[in-house]
């Protein structure tokens, strides 16, 4: 399976904002491909829910791999994977998981600096996380695995009272680890986004949120990549609930057509 790291990397350094469509199965990936999307990404939350698991590495990695394999085999788009915290404790375990994705034809991953324990998410120490990342990047280099590493930092997602300050302090630490991009989900203020993109040497990714500025505004603020998160998946299943409610109320399938 051909890996498309160079193509994917280049898409982060063009003028146009890269909109990555988040998918949860081969069927949803096919919809994005028909619309001309160049890149699709798994939403771990959406995949987990589709399989009856909770987000936060609750689903077995083997189950996730099967879904990823079907997506890669079913689309011509570049595929990147939300790897959450890596599905492993050590740098060696995480590197092994990344290598397995690479062998399937995956061109990129997200890896996050927060962990869920006993149902509660908390952010990790930046220096400790950076050290693990350096070990991962070194191992991938030894294995000759070229894959786009998008580091997700959760200062804003966790609603830290000093989220911007925390994010800005993490950028210099993270961007020297060898990763290829930085991802700050839940940041929505243009002023905050601009401060992040100005400081970062790496392309910055943000995520769909209710108050997120328009794509044009994001591009002007220096953002290179935007993704859907699990919001499209959640929206579609709300619509499914609504249509089935109408069918039950009307005792008719007419609303489907």
7-41 pLDDT, tens digit per residue, is 999 999 999 999 999 999 999 999 999 999 999 99
Contact between residue 43 and residue 68 where contact means Cβ atoms under 8 Å apart: no
Model pLDDT for residues 162-183, shown as the tens digit of each residue: 999 999 999 999 999 999 999 9
The mean pLDDT value for 72-82 works out to: 97
1 vs 136: which has the higher pLDDT: 136
The percentage of the chain sitting over the pLDDT mark of 90, rounded to a whole number, equals 95
- Which tens digit of pLDDT belongs to each residue from 95-110? 999 999 999 999 999 9
Whole-angstrom distance, CA of residue 30 vs CA of residue 18: 18
The CATH number corresponding to 5-230 among 3.20.20.60, 1.10.1660.10, 3.30.70.3290, 3.40.50.2300 equals 3.20.20.60
pLDDT at site 1: 57
Domain ranges of the chain: 5-230
Mean pLDDT of the chain: 96
């Amino acid at each position: 399976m051909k890996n498309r790291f160079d193509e994917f990397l280049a898409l982060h350094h063009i003028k146009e904002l890269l909109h990555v469509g988040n998918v949860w199965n081969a069927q949803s990936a096919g919809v994005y491909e028909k619309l001309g999307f160049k890149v699709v990404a798994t939403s771990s939350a959406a995949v987990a829910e589709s399989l009856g698991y909770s987000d936060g590495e609750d689903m077995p990695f083997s189950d996730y791999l099967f879904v990823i394999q079907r997506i890669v085999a079913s689309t011509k788009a570049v595929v990147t994977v939300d790897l959450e915290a890596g599905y492993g404790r050590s740098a060696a375990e995480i590197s092994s998981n990344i290598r397995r994705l690479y062998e399937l034809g995956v061109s990129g991953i997200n890896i996050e600096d927060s962990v869920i324990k006993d149902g509660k998410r908390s952010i990790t120490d930046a220096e400790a996380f950076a050290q693990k990342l350096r070990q991962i990047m070194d191992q991938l280099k030894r294995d000759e695995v070229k894959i786009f590493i998008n580091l997700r930092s959760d200062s804003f997602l966790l609603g830290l009272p000093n989220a911007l300050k925390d994010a800005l302090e993490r950028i210099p630490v993270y961007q020297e680890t060898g990763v290829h991009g930085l991802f700050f989900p839940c940041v929505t203020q243009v002023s905050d986004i601009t401060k992040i993109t100005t400081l970062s040497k790496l392309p910055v990714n943000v995520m769909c949120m209710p108050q997120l500025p328009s794509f044009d505004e994001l591009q002007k603020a220096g953002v290179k990549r935007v993704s859907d998160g699990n919001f499209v998946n959640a929206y579609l299943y709300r619509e499914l609930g609504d249509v089935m409610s109408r069918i039950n109320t009307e005792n008719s399938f007419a609303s489907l057509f």
